[in-house]
Structure 1
Amino acid sequence: MRLFPILAIAAAIIGCGCSRLPAEDAANAHVGAASTPFAPIPSDGELLARGEYLIRTSGCNDCHTAGYAEQQGNLDKAQWLTGSPMGYKGPWGTTYAANLRLKLADMDEAQWLDYSGSLRTRPLMPDFALRAMSADDRRAIYRFIRSLGPAGSPAPPYLPPGQTPARPYFELVLPAAPPVAVAAG
C-alpha cells in the first residue's frame, strides 16, 4: 500500500489551506495594523513629513492655496493653505476653499480627527477622500498644518444659489437633466 504519498499530498493540501499567499498578505497588510498594540508610533518628524507629503500630493493646495496650480506648485510653504478668493459657483451656490491654517488653529487634534472623519461639505471639496484616509494620515495632516502656524485671512463666506459672487470665480454649468420617462398605462 502506498500510504506515504497519500499522506504527503494530504499534508500539502492542509498546509496550503492554512497559510496565506504572499499576495493576500500584501493586500491585507493594513487590516488591524492601526489597532495592533505593537505597531510603532510615528515620531513627530515622521508625522510632519507624512503630512507635508499628503498635502502636496492629495491636491489640498490646488484649492486651499491661492496661485498654487498656476505656479505649478512652486510656492513657498509660508503661503500654503491660507485659503483662496476663488469662488466655485454651481447649482449649490458659491463655495470657497477655507483657510485651513486658521481653521485648524481653533481645533485640538481630537476635534480635527472627529471633524475630518465625518466631514460633509458642498462641492467642490472632495470630502469623501478625507473621510477615506486613515486616522494616522489625518493626524499627520493636522500636525503639518499646525506646524505652519496661523496666517492669512478667512475665506469669503458661502453664497446661496442665485447670488453672483465677486470675481474671481469658476462656474460649473451642468447640462439640463434628462426628461423623466412617463410610463404608458
Structure 2
Amino acid sequence: MLRILITASLLLAALSAVAAQPAAPASDPDRIRRGRYVALIGGCNDCHTKGFAPSGGKVPESQWLTGSDLGFSGAWGTTYPGNLRTKIGAMDLPTWKAYARALTTRPPMPYWALNEMSEADLEALWAFVHSLGASGDAAPAALPPGQEPSGPAVRFPMPPPESGGKH
C-alpha cells in the first residue's frame, strides 16, 4: 500500500511539473507558421476573410481573419463570419483552448472540426492570430429565422420534408 502511495505521489509531482511549464510564447516563429498552415487547411479564411474564396486565396495576409459582412442564410436564420483577430486576439491561450473545445454555433461554421483540433494546432492557430494583431470591425449580428438580411448572403435551401417512406 505504501508503495502505491509513493508511486502515486511521484506521478502527481511529475504531472504538476509538466503542467507548470510555461507554454511557448505567441511569438514563436515555428508555432506561427504552423498556425498559418492550420488556418489555411482548416478553411478559416474561406468565410472569415472577405473575398478569400472567390479570389482563390489572393487576399493580402494583412486582411486575413477580419470577418465578413457576407451572410449565410438558412432555416437557422443568417449568420456572419466573425472577426477572429479581435475575438481570439482578446483571449489568453487557456481561455482560447477552453472556448475552442466547447464551441457550438449555427451553420455553416464547422465547430466540430475546431472542437477536435489537437492541442498543438489550437496553440499554433492562437499564436498565428495573435501575430496578425487586432484589425477590422465586428461582423454584423446574427439574424433570427424569417428576418431577411439587408446585404449579400449565401442562401441555403430548406431541406426537403421527410417522406416517411423509402429513400
| TM-score, scaled to structure 1 | 0.73
Match of 2:67 among 65, 79, 83: 83
Q: Deviation of residue 63 (structure 1)?
A: 0.1
SS in 2 for 1:53: helix
CA distance in 2, matches of 1:42, 1:105: 16
Q: Deviation of residue 75 (structure 1)?
A: 1.4
| 1:29 alignment partner in structure 2 | none
- Paired-residue identity, %: 43
SS in 1 for 2:125: helix
- Structure 2 letter corresponding to 1:136: A
| 1:164 alignment partner in structure 2 | 148
CA distance in 2, matches of 1:135, 1:123: 24
Cα distance per residue 1:91-113 (max 9 Å; x no partner): 01100100000112221111000
| TM-score, scaled to structure 2 | 0.81
- Structure 2 letter corresponding to 1:104: I
Q: Does 1:127 align with 2:111?
A: yes
Residues matched between the structures, number: 143
Matches within 5 A, 1:2-41: none
| 1:100 alignment partner in structure 2 | 84
CA distance in 2, matches of 1:99, 1:125: 13
Match of 1:153 among 122, 134, 137: 137
Cα distance per residue 1:30-85 (max 9 Å; x no partner): xxxxx9x6xxx877111101000111111000000000111111111100000001
- Structure 2 letter corresponding to 1:123: P
Runs of 4+ in 1 over 6 A off after TM superposition: none
| 1:118 alignment partner in structure 2 | 102
- Structure 1 letter corresponding to 2:89: A
- Structure 1 letter corresponding to 2:97: L
| 1:45 alignment partner in structure 2 | 29
Higher RCO, Cα 8 Å, sep 6+:
2
CA distance in 2, matches of 1:158, 1:77: 26
Instruction: Please say which structure displays the higher CA radius of gyration.
Output: 1
Q: Deviation of residue 141 (structure 1)?
A: 0.3
CA distance in 1, matches of 2:162, 2:115: 31
